[in-house]
Amino acid sequence: MADSDLIKLYSGRILQLAAEIPHTDRLDAPQASVRKRSPLCGSTVTVDVDVEDGRVARFGQDVKACALGQAAASVVGANVLGRTRAEVERARDELRAMLKSGGPAPAAPFDALSVLEPARDYKNRHASILLAIEATAEAMEEAEKKAACA
């Protein structure tokens, strides 16, 4: 990767997001926790959620990822409270499409994920970028299933 490619990929905004990840404290006794790992690079994200009335009420995450994965987790953490599983799954699907098939950036409130568009050409980074949103969607599904059984 040339230096100019690195500068484009690791923009100042991506580095700023990576340095300002919200909700980095794990929840005590969450309704659901999901840990996702990228086998290619070893990045891991663990997400804890509590869901009330179909919306994220509390959220915590432990992020051990590259700057791109950290930036994605930052955007997810900043926008996830109050969201439904459908909204999170839509953002997950839009982010995946943006990276893998040239789709548009995710819609609001997760539109800040557009900062990761330059990573389209770096397939080895896609899994790390997707970890936080995938773990969040999976944790919400798990929490909702537990609530339905209670």
Q: What is the mean pLDDT of the chain?
A: 93
User: What percent of the residues of the chain are helix, what percent strand, and what percent coil, each to the nearest 5?
Assistant: 55, 15, 25
| DSSP letter, residue 66 | -
Q: Could you read off the pLDDT of 1-56 as tens digits, one per residue? A: 554 554 567 788 999 999 999 999 999 999 999 999 998 889 999 999 999 999 99
Measured CA to CA, the distance from residue 98 to residue 105 in angstroms comes to: 6
E strand intervals along 7-147 = 32-37, 44-52, 55-64
Concatenate the DSSP letters of all residues of 117-129 into one string: GGGGG-HHHHHHH
What domains does the chain contain, in order, with CATH numbers?
3-149 (3.90.1010.10)
Question: Is the pTM higher than 0.75?
Answer: yes
Measured CA to CA, the distance from residue 13 to residue 43 in angstroms comes to: 20
**Which residues have C-beta within 8 Å of that of residue 150, sequence separation ≥ 6?**
none
Please compute the mean of the pLDDT values over residues 46-71 and round it to a whole number: 97
| 70-106: b (≥16 Cβ within 10 Å) or e | bbbbbbbbbbbeebebebbbbbbebbbebbeeeeebb
Query: In the chain, pLDDT over 70 holds for what percent of residues?
Result: 94
Instruction: Give me the pLDDT at residue 47, please.
Output: 98
